[in-house]
Amino acid sequence: MTVEFHPAAFTEAEEAQAWYLERSVLAASAFLQELSRAIQQIRQAPHRYAVAEAGTRKILIARFPFTIYYRHTSNVLTIVAVAHQKRRPGYWRNR
């Protein structure tokens, strides 16, 4: 299965990682590990996770206040947003 990031979702992931990196190399590394782990979980069973808004599904990133919103069609997994759980709910809906 191919994994694609919406450009804005990729930017969100980079910005979150940079924020953690300013505070701790270990925290930044842990964030990337948990993001990767969540994406692997989605790849294994894309229909397992809760249906969300705008035709997406969602999975929480363990240990961090972020949610991955994604769409799955045939062999493509599209990460629509890597959204902070406390900031601007639903801002990504038009993607």
20-78 pLDDT, tens per residue?
A: 999 999 999 999 999 999 999 999 999 999 999 989 999 999 999 999 999 999 899 99
The pLDDT, as a whole number, for residue 52 is 95
Query: What is the three-class DSSP state of 7?
Result: helix
pTM for this prediction? 0.93
In DSSP terms, 69 is beta-bridged to 58, 81
The pLDDT of residue 36 is 98
Q: How far apart are CA 67 and CA 71, in angstroms?
A: 13
Convert the pLDDT of each residue in 65-90 to its tens digit. 999 999 999 899 999 999 999 988 88
